[in-house]
């Protein structure tokens, strides 16, 4: 297997020569920058273009924040949030908050909702802790993170004064444009730039993801190394069968053409739940347009076998499943035997939990195949920074290829603007007077 494995044997799809050629052509188009959305293809070569100096600058800023705070609040939404959260959750102990001693600061998130309760409870929690803030917004004007940052900045300034607050803030935003850029320059916050040619959902390997991840203690060099190796493994000169991104993109498009309109990304590892959330944005925003696109859904097994399992097994046959399967857990736990077998589990005594989980996974796969759910498997050797970096780039590359195969521009998101216009009109934002009248007439 390569850096990650891809098993399409359960998809029921034979890939015709024409599709192989189309997928390779789509990949070449990404590299030649001659396809739709070509102004937003900076992510294609990001892993190989991040230099040691850039990583060191990010590391230094992250170290400063780590030294200043017990809690780092990471503020952002969508592409300026999900990648960081995906990597952090994948690589973290889910019970870290219960540990008596913390190694470095805890990272929490804000700016990804407009909940008043969430904001108040966060402020309450920060009362007892020293904290720092990383604020991330490419446009610098997105409402949710801007509001959260205003609230957190005020809390920091009350506690540490204006200068003390500035020493505990870092901003990631556009080189020149946007309110966050103006604010950061005015207040003297250290800033990192999101390249113009990288869209939000493809930005996890820019400072958008790398700064907060370094601040949370993630080995970002290993993350980038994994992505870099995957960049090579999916380069345009790699033959179709050896390029997992091209194969995945081809198979999912062939399934879509056969009426499989929903793809469920699943895993048996709860740590990967936010990778699924990130993936949903990546594929949903990239492909869902012009009345087309596979609807991306997600499940975490075995929990969701007890909620979604029935539908997947016997509901409408318009879905297929892609399982991210992990070969080796990091830890080891073997089930013990008991003198009296009251719970009836002695037949499992001596077996590792991962071994029992593998049987569950296999059993589900066979059941779903019997239930006419085409199945793809992406195999990760283990969950570490290197393999997660490779997985992220794999999904990005496959998404670009897949969007071109579908015949859409995978790098814009015109539909996301519609709700914003209505919300601004309803809130009375200057410049939205006309829209405000129109929308009020409909209420």
Give the nearest distance from C-beta 283 to ligand PA5 in angstroms: 12
Of 17, 306, 316, 417, catalytic: 306
Give the nearest distance from C-beta 33 to ligand PA5 in angstroms: 19
Give the nearest distance from C-beta 162 to ligand PA5 in angstroms: 24
| CB burial string 141-166: b at 16+ within 10 A, e below | bbbbbbebbebbbebbbeebeeeebb
**Residue in the structure block whose two tokens are 């914003």:** 420
Identify which of residues 301 and 432 has a Cβ nearer to ligand PA5 in the complex. Answer: 432
Classify the C-alpha dihedral 117-164-218-52 as positive or negative: positive
Give the nearest distance from C-beta 170 to ligand PA5 in angstroms: 15
For residue 194, the tally of other CB atoms under 10 A from its CB is 24
Of 285, 321, 361, 396, catalytic: 285
Count Cα neighbours of 44 within 13 Å in the Cβ-side half-sphere: 21
Classify the C-alpha dihedral 216-221-222-226 as positive or negative: positive
Whether 420 is catalytic is yes
Whether 99 is catalytic is no
Which residues are at the interface with ligand PA5 (CB under 6 A)? 77-80, 137-139, 142, 145, 199-201, 285, 413
Confirm if 25 and 249 have CB atoms less than 8 A apart: no
Whether 31 is catalytic is no
Mention every residue, 6+ apart, whose C-beta is less than 8 A from residue 357.
268, 302
Give the Cα separation of 73 and 152 in Å (integer): 9
**Residue in the structure block whose two tokens are 């189309």:** 22
Identify which of residues 10 and 296 has a Cβ nearer to ligand PA5 in the complex. Answer: 296
Identify which of residues 10 and 199 has a Cβ nearer to ligand PA5 in the complex. Answer: 199
Identify which of residues 202 and 432 has a Cβ nearer to ligand PA5 in the complex. Answer: 202
Give the nearest distance from C-beta 436 to ligand PA5 in angstroms: 22
Identify which of residues 106 and 198 has a Cβ nearer to ligand PA5 in the complex. Answer: 198
Say what the alpha-carbon torsion angle 276, 280, 286, 292 is, to the nearest 10 degrees.
130
Q: Enumerate the active-site residues.
A: 285, 306, 420
């Amino acid at each position: 297997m390569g850096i990650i494995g891809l098993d399409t044997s359960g998809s029921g799809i034979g890939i015709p020569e024409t599709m192989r050629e189309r997928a390779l052509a789509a990949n070449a188009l990404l590299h030649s920058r001659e396809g739709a959305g070509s102004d937003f293809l900076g992510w294609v070569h990001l892993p190989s273009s991040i230099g040691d100096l850039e990583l060191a600058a990010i590391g230094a800023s992250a170290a400063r924040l780590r030294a200043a705070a017990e809690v780092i609040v990471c503020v952002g939404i969508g592409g300026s949030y999900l990648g960081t959260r995906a990597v952090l959750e994948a690589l973290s102990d889910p019970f870290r908050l219960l540990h008596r001693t913390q190694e470095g600061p805890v990272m929490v998130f804000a700016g990804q909702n407009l909940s008043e309760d969430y904001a108040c409870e966060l402020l309450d929690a920060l009362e007892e802790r020293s904290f720092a803030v990383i604020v991330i917004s490419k446009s610098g004007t997105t409402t949710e993170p801007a509001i959260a940052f205003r609230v957190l900045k005020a809390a920091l300034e009350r506690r540490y004064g204006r200068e003390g607050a500035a020493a505990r803030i870092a901003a990631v935003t556009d080189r020149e444009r946007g309110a966050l850029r103006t604010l950061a320059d005015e207040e003297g916050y250290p800033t990192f730039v999101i390249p113009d040619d990288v869209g939000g959902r493809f930005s996890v390997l820019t400072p958008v993801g790398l700064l907060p991840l370094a601040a949370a203690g993630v080995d970002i060099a290993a993350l980038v190394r994994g992505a870099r190796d995957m960049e090579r493994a999916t380069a345009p000169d790699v033959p179709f069968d050896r390029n997992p991104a091209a194969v995945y993109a081809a198979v999912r498009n062939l399934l879509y053409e056969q009426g499989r309109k929903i793809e469920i990304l699943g895993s048996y590892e709860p740590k990967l739940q936010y990778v699924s959330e990130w993936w949903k944005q990546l594929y949903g925003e990239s492909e869902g347009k012009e009345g087309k696109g596979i609807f991306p859904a997600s499940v975490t097994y075995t929990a969701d076998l007890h909620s979604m399992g029935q539908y997947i097994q016997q509901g409408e046959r318009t879905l297929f499943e892609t399982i991210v399967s992990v070969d080796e857990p990091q830890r080891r736990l073997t089930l013990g035997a008991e003198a009296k077998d009251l719970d009836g589990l002695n037949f499992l005594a001596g077996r590792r939990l991962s071994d029992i989980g593998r049987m569950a996974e296999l059993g589900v796969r066979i059941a779903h195949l019997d239930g006419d759910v085409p199945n793809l498997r992406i195999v990760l050797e283990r969950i570490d920074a290197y393999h997660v970096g490779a997985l992220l780039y794999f999904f990005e590359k496959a998404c670009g290829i897949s969007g071109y195969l579908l015949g859409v521009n995978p790098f814009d998101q015109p539909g996301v603007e519609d709700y914003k216009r209505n919300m601004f009109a309803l809130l009375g934002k200057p410049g939205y007077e006309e829209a405000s009248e129109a929308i009020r007439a409909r209420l």
